[in-house]
Structure 1
Amino acid sequence: MSNILETLSGTLLVPTILFFALGLFAAFVRSDLSIPAGAAKFMSLYLLLAIGFKGGSNLSAHGVTPDLFVTMLVGVVLSFSMPFVAFALLRNMTRLDTVNAAAVAAHYGSISIVTFVTAISLLELAGTSYDGFMVAVAATMEVPAILSGLWLAHRSGIRPAAQGHLWRDLLANGSIVLLTGAFVIGALTGGQGMEMIAPFIVTPFTGILCLFLLDMGLTAGRSILQNRHMISPGLFGFGVVMPLVGAGAAWCLGAMIGLADGSLFLLMTLSASASYIAVPAAMKIALPQAEPGIYVTLSLGITFPFNIAIGLPLYLWLANW
Structure 2
Amino acid sequence: MTATLLSPMVLFFALGVLAALARSDLSIPEAVGKAIAIYLMIAIGLKGGVAVAAEGVGSDLAIAAALGLVLSAALPLPAYWLGRKFAGQSATDAASIAAHYGSVSVVTFVAGAEALSLAGLQASGYMVAVLALMETPAIIVGLLLARRAAGTVELGKGGLLHEALFNGSVVLLVGSFLIGMTIGKDGFVQIAPVFEAAFRGILCLFLLDMGLVAARRLRDTRSLSLRLLTMAIALPLLNGVAGVFLASMVGLEPSNAAAMGILAASASYIAVPAAMRIALPQANAGTSLAMSLGVTFPFNVTLGIPLYILLAVEIAETWKP
What TM-score do you get using the length of structure 1 for normalisation? 0.95
Structure 2 residues without counterparts, runs of 5 or longer? 315-321
Counterpart residue type for residue 181 of structure 2: A
Q: Please name the residue that 2:271 is paired with.
A: 278
Would the aligned equivalents of 1:150 and 1:160 in 2 still touch at CA under 8 Å? no
Q: Match for residue 226 of structure 1?
A: 220
TM-fit CA distance, 1:163: 3.6
Query: Which whole-Å CA distance do the structure 1 matches of 2:120 and 2:70 have between them?
Result: 29
The ranges of structure 1 where at least 4 consecutive aligned residues each deviate by more than 4 angstroms after the TM superposition are none
Q: Which of 188, 193, 196 is the matching residue for 2:190? A: 196
Secondary structure of 2:102's match? coil
Shift of 1:162: 4.6
1:299 to 292, 299, 303: 292
Shift of 1:160: 4.8
Match of 1:168 among 162, 169, 183: 162
Structure 1 residue corresponding to 2:201, chosen from 207, 219, 242: 207
1:110 maps to amino acid: S
Q: Is this contact kept in 1: 2:229–2:295, CA < 8 A? A: yes
Residue 264 (structure 1) shift: 0.9
| Percent of residue pairs identical | 48
Moved more, 68-77 or 188-197: 188-197
* 1:147 matches 2:140: yes
What is the aligned length?
A: 312
In the alignment, which residue of structure 1 is the partner of 2:60? 67
Aligned match for 1:159, one of 148, 151, 168: 151
Alpha-carbon contact 2:248-2:254 (below 8 Å) kept: no
Q: Out of 10, 30, 35, which is 2:3 matched to?
A: 10
Is the 1:153–1:160 contact (alpha carbons within 8 Å) kept by the matching residues of 2?
no
What is the rounded CA distance, in whole Å, between the counterparts of 1:160 and 1:114 in structure 2? 32
Q: Does the 8 Å contact 2:254/2:313 carry over to 1?
A: yes
Letter in 2 for 1:12: L
Q: CA RMSD in A?
A: 1.1
**CA distance in structure 2 between the partners assigned to 1:167 and 1:69 by the alignment:** 23
Q: Is the 8 A contact 1:106 1:145 kept in 2?
A: yes
2:227 corresponds to 1:238: no
- CA distance in structure 2 between the partners assigned to 1:191 and 1:264 by the alignment: 25
